[in-house]
Amino acid sequence: MQEKSSSQPLIRIVDDDSSVRVALLDLFQSIDLEAIAYDSPRALLDADNLDTPGCIVLDVRFSGSSGLDFQSDLQKAGNRMPIIVVTGHGDIPMSVRAMKAGAIDFLTKPLRDQDLIDAVTGAIKRDQVIRSQSQTRSDVKRLRETLTPREVEVMHAVVNGYMNKQIAGQLGISMVTVKLHRSNVMKKMRVRSVADLVKKAELLGQDQPAAQGDS
């Protein structure tokens, strides 16, 4: 079943027990949360691109596969969709593995409705934060891409606390040129202060160029 295009968070239920799927769909519907159910991880991947915000409620055991392996595969692929792992056969090593692989909660069956609702609500909020941060970082990267290579060097020096005179010495350019580049950086990065520039540079993380050494 293909998911609907919607801005409303979507809960993906992945469980091979049809009675569990029906019960969870009814539960989420009763509190006005949109949900869709799949009988296996493969069915989820075949029908859902995971672009719609939300979370995954994932059972551990499936015929011929493991929910924890699926969780690990998503993590390796860079998908950060929050996952709540549920199982009727939970143990400490299994819960540790699930949490290390990025699960935000580990619940054992039979599930208490309120526990699951609390976990799902927290997962949806977490997904919203993750997506917001990712969008902000993408916006900053697009701004950084408008800079010339020299402006990138000047920006990096500025956020590392170097004064104009030091930057001129490092890059072998005049103070006037440094000031021009610095002004361009502030305009293109849409900031009014060095503090704001530092915040945006921090969002870029490892995408920043290597630090310039003193010359």
pLDDT digits (tens, 9 = 90+) for 155-181: 999 999 999 999 999 999 999 999 999
Band (pLDDT 50/70/90 cuts) for residue 90 is: low
Greater confidence (211 vs 143) lies with 143
pTM of the full structure: 0.64
Rounded average pLDDT over 79-100: 77
Cβ–Cβ < 8 Å for 100, 14: no
Cβ–Cβ < 8 Å for 60, 108: no
DSSP for 96-152 reads HHHHHTT-SEEEESSPPHHHHHHHHHHHHHHHHHHHHHHHHHHHHHHHHTTS-HHHH
Cβ–Cβ < 8 Å for 194, 159: yes
pLDDT in tens, 142-151: 999 999 999 9
